[in-house]
Copies of this chain bind each other. A is one copy, B any other.
Amino acid sequence: MQLSNSSQYAIRILAYMADQKDSKLMNATELAGALYIPYKFLTKIMTELVKVGLVVSIRGREGGYKFEKKTSEIMVSDILDIFNDSIKDEQCVLGIGFCNGLCKCALHDQWMEPKLLLQRMFRESSLEDIAGRGCKI
């Protein structure tokens, strides 16, 4: 039970970018070096973030990445959605089809509360909220 590597990397990359002053352009080499993420894998992830519209890229010399929207408007769940890692309302903890709330699975009652807290954590935490917190990057 954990987030995929792609999701973890993406959150760390964007939280790091959000922590930089004056929204300066950051390039893949800097990011990969600072966060210890394999360069080629990072560029692959960044291209997805660009495609989905979270960040914009400037190609060519002196290029790099910057945010498309304000960091207060990008939620962690927006990032997880890209990698199919967020917790959907209809997701059954035991994987028995879809959750309609009527016909329960064995773990339903125990699952509801942690599920809600996880969803809240993902949906209500913006990049602004988490940027610069903690010493690990």
Contact = CB atoms under 8 A, between A and B. Distances in A.
Given A97-B136, A121-B111, A1 B85 contact: yes
A5 B93 CA distance: 11
Contacts of A125: 107, 110
Interface in A115-137: 117-118, 121, 125, 129-137
A1 B110 CA distance: 17
Nearest to A100: B136
A56 to B, nearest CB: 22
Contact of A110 (B85, B91, B130): B130
Interface stretch (A8-16, A45-53, A65-73): A8-16
A36 to B, nearest CB: 9
A109 interface: yes
A117 B113 contact: yes
A95 B134 contact: no
